[in-house]
Amino acid sequence: MTNKEKIILVIDDEEMNLKLVEAMLIPQGYKIVLYKSSTLAFQDIESINPDVILLDIMMPVMNGFDFLKKIKRIPKIKNVPVVMVTALNDVKSRVISLELGCDDFISKPIDKIELRSRVKSLIKVKEYYDHIKNHNAVLEEEIRKRTSELAESYRKVVAINKELEANFYNVVFMTFDLISNFDKSLAGHCKRVAEYCSKITDNLNIEQELKKNIKIAALLHDIGLIQIPKKNRMHINEDSNIGEELLEAYKNHPLISLKYFENSPKYSEIIRFIEGHHERLDGTGFPNGKKDKDILLGSKIIAIADYYDTLRYASKKTKDEEVIAQMEKK
């Protein structure tokens, strides 16, 4: 930007002072705007949008202090450099001006070289401020744009996660339907175990996500049994003399789960719960012979619910206390 585009606003109620300052600055190529009234200058200040203001202190109606105080409240103008024109020994006026936010002083009578030097210096200050202001505006716009992009990306991720979660639950229910078609009694057992697990977890101080995963694992905990013919499965337990191949298949049924979700941080826990639901605290369970501290809470809860349902339907006991009493003997 050239000096011709730089606007110097000069406010002084003395015509002679205005013409003197104008004569000193015109040769520098500035656009000089003169006002004899600070009141009128204040009314036009935003449309003038000066680069530097030369302001006399002693003026009628609105003096230089009042004018300075008012323009500091205007966002567009508050950072425009202001030079207060004072008497050489007027220390009090200088202190007040500084407190109100002026940037420099010129003493009367005005020296041409000093005036030009101070205006030139303050023009550079204004240019630097405008540069920072424009740079900040660009940064703010970039931040706004990036924030908007991040918000949109986050919205898409949330939508994808919801879709994946819905798809997972669809797989769960499709798998459960498969169990139901294969063996309604097995499906009934899985459904009851899931309901028991919900009742147990409702009384525990654990997170909702964990409760949900335990219930899903319970609903699918015996999915591996569909590999064993129903006529053989009805009589299987780990102590039965039914042949090594069938017994091995039975002991490995907790390992046959939703393998596609094994690498998912969100759903792999469900598979771990299923795999551990036949482990025992003393290490005599299967398929891995884990002991108490190595068995996950979800597996322990499913094991309790599974054993409860097995006892209740095997013994045809209808009272909870009878089933629980038998469980406590184990």
Alpha-carbon distance 174 to 92, whole Å?
Answer: 87
pLDDT of 160 > 70? The answer is: no
Alpha-carbon distance 77 to 130, whole Å?
Answer: 12
pLDDT digits (tens, 9 = 90+) for 25-79: 999 999 999 999 999 999 999 999 999 999 998 888 899 999 999 999 998 898 8
Alpha-carbon distance 182 to 219, whole Å?
Answer: 15
Specify whether the CB–CB gap between 198 and 211 falls below 8 A. Answer: yes
Tokens of 236: 């299987």
Which of these ranges, 198-207, 255-264, 284-293, has the smallest mean pLDDT? 255-264
What are the C-alpha distances in Å from 98 to residues 15, 82, 84, 105, 275? Answer: 26, 10, 9, 9, 78
What are the C-alpha distances in Å from 321 to residues 199, 245, 307? Answer: 16, 37, 14
Distance of CA 157 to the CA centre of its chain: 13
Q: Output the average pLDDT for the chain.
A: 83
Domains detected in the chain: 3-132 (3.40.50.2300), 183-329 (1.10.3210.10)
pLDDT of res. 83: 93
Specify whether the CB–CB gap between 72 and 101 falls below 8 A. Answer: yes
pLDDT of 242 > 80? The answer is: no
Mean pLDDT, rounded, for 121-125: 90
pLDDT of res. 246: 76
Alpha-carbon distance 205 to 178, whole Å?
Answer: 33
Length of the chain: 330
Judged by DSSP in three states, 86 sits in: strand
pLDDT of res. 258: 59
